[in-house]
């Protein structure tokens, strides 16, 4: 009589194939998540740049905003752990047309990056910055400025200290 079922060798081959697939899929997934986060930063910085230009056309100056905040204790790599601004910073964000509510706009959900607009006196320039924690305790920073609103600069010195 012929036995039915799988041999140990056949099962080991299947496990090895699944391991190879997992070993290639996990890094690709993490790269996809990182690119999605960077896409959020590029989109938001471009939006902030257009809002700054609209504000400049009305008031002949750029406006600085306070920084959005990381949740206390939730700064591990890849977490969507940024909260909307609070206190006096709300007015600066509102002047740019960014609502500080949980219904619409940038703060409608958790975001990967924290954002800030730096506008040194006499408010004739600006730099919009995005910061994100990475593994190993490092941060990733992107920025746009009024000097070149089409080139995203990584790790700009003005943004690194904020």
**Per-residue pLDDT tens digits for 112-149:** 888 888 888 778 889 999 888 777 777 888 999 988 87
Kindly give the confidence (pLDDT) of every residue in the chain, 162 residues in length, as a single tens digit, with 9 standing for 90 and above: 577 888 999 999 999 999 999 999 999 998 888 888 889 889 989 999 999 999 999 999 998 888 776 654 444 555 555 667 777 788 888 888 887 776 666 767 667 888 888 888 778 889 999 888 777 777 888 999 988 877 888 887 778 654
Distance CA 69, CA 89 (A): 11
pTM for this predicted structure: 0.77
C-alpha pair distances (Å), 84 with each of 11, 38, 114, 136: 51, 19, 9, 25
Separation of alpha carbons 118 and 42, rounded Å: 17
Reduced to 3 states (helix: H, G, I; strand: E, B; else coil), residue 149 is strand
**Rounded Cα distance, 102 and 64, in Å:** 22
Tokens of 149: 């609103």
Burial grade of 67 (CB within 10 A; 0-12, 13-18, 19 or more): middle
DSSP three-state, residue 152: strand
Extract the tokens encoding 114.
Answer: 């924290």
DSSP reduced 3-state for 84: coil
Q: Which residue has the tokens 């012929």?
A: 2
Please say whether the beta carbons of 97 and 37 come within 8 A.
Answer: no
């Amino acid at each position: 009589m012929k036995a039915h079922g799988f041999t140990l060798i056949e099962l080991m081959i299947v496990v090895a194939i699944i391991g190879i697939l997992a070993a290639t899929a996990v890094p690709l997934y993490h790269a996809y998540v990182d690119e999605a986060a960077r896409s959020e930063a590029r989109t938001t910085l471009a939006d902030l740049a257009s809002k700054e230009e609209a504000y400049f056309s009305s008031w002949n100056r750029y406006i600085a905003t306070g920084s959005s905040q990381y949740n206390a204790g939730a700064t591990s790599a890849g977490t969507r752990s940024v909260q909307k601004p609070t206190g006096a910073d709300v007015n600066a964000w509102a002047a740019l047309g960014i609502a500080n509510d949980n219904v619409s706009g940038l703060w409608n959900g958790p975001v990967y990056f924290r954002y800030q607009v730096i506008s040194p006196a006499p408010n004739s320039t600006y730099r919009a910055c995005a910061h994100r924690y990475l593994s190993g305790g490092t941060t990733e920073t992107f920025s746009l400025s009024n000097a070149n609103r089409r080139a995203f600069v990584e790790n700009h010195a003005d943004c690194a200290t904020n």
